[in-house]
Structure 1
């Protein structure tokens, strides 16, 4: 299968996972429990994960799956993965529990440490975002498809729209924002923060706090294909994947950043 064909198959898988999530969303009790790290888990996370993993395992091409909700795979095994699926079946579980609609289904194909296919589905909005490296990023909504283009800007510009988390605004992030000229904050949940930039509605997203690889892989692929970048704050290099520790470094996601 070509990457384009694979992306279309994965897009349909994400839609089916979204339907499983919405079936739980409509219930009064979404089955919240706490994982070992005290982060919340719902019946929707589990249902979506099962849909995605079963469907990926049924595809004509087979790659290992790293998912937030699967048992951890030791690095000794993972380090030999040339390609693998990276899955967050429900990103924004806290937003799901709050019932504000800002949660997503995320599936990426990682090749040699780089996300090359990204699919993000927003169940409450029925918005499907997808990308293939080198072939652009797209949004499908109401039967129409449009190509995404991240906005061009300079960090010295006034009035930059800065995406920030509804749940994680720390001192380092505030310092980044304070260094900008008359910025406008855009509070948003889940991987939607990357997508807002990819479709030109914001400029930058500083994440100077913890995230995991599955939180970012699919949305990074989409933003990069739309002309943006997701940069390790310390090294200045794009975020890399399938590291020994799946915790991401601090990063900054940009639209099309231009030199001063």
Structure 2
């Protein structure tokens, strides 16, 4: 694949400047304010490969203009989401400022997944090429993994600050010291087997307690996400209602203006 720096002169309006394939074969993303057009997948890979996921890092790979807003062909805003599924265990949970940011990310991804469903349906109705639909399927899988990762990070962050977890680890260290000391004084094989079994049982109990804390954290995260989705749906419904009211008001004023002008025209 050609690099972004080397393709500016060779690119045309009908081809993606990154992969050189025809733009129509996949979803298109338009960068504002420079208005350069790319395959959604290609330019997203460019953004997500930046050293840090900061707005100042999001620049057009052709002209280096700082991105203000990425839009699809309909002019609708396309949300950018942190590539958490690629970071895996390398994610620094301390950099996640609060759980609100994780819940917001989850809900943004949820909205993107809903849009992808609509895009795929419209693509099938519009008889788009197989490559176009496959691109949507790949993006869907990627975002689903990204959404799962937000929950994983939430749980990890919750465990890292949980007083219950700190207590469990303190108790575990104490048990380990006691058992280690006991091993130093026992003599018979039976006593050693009993101590080893005690150690195994203690570890299993510890793991069970930790899993219980993790399960509670996952439930909390899902409840927060469900509440955020409900709030977003309520806001959208309110906005739609207000838009309908404005539309009716405009239509009413227009009708009144026409009625007022009719007598003047007849005279």
**Which bin holds the TM-score, normalised by the shorter protein?**
under 0.3
Q: TM-score by structure 2 length? A: 0.25
Structure whose residues are more often helix by fraction: 2
- Greater RCO (Cα-Cα under 8 Å, separation 6 or more): 1
Q: Which has the larger strand fraction?
A: 1
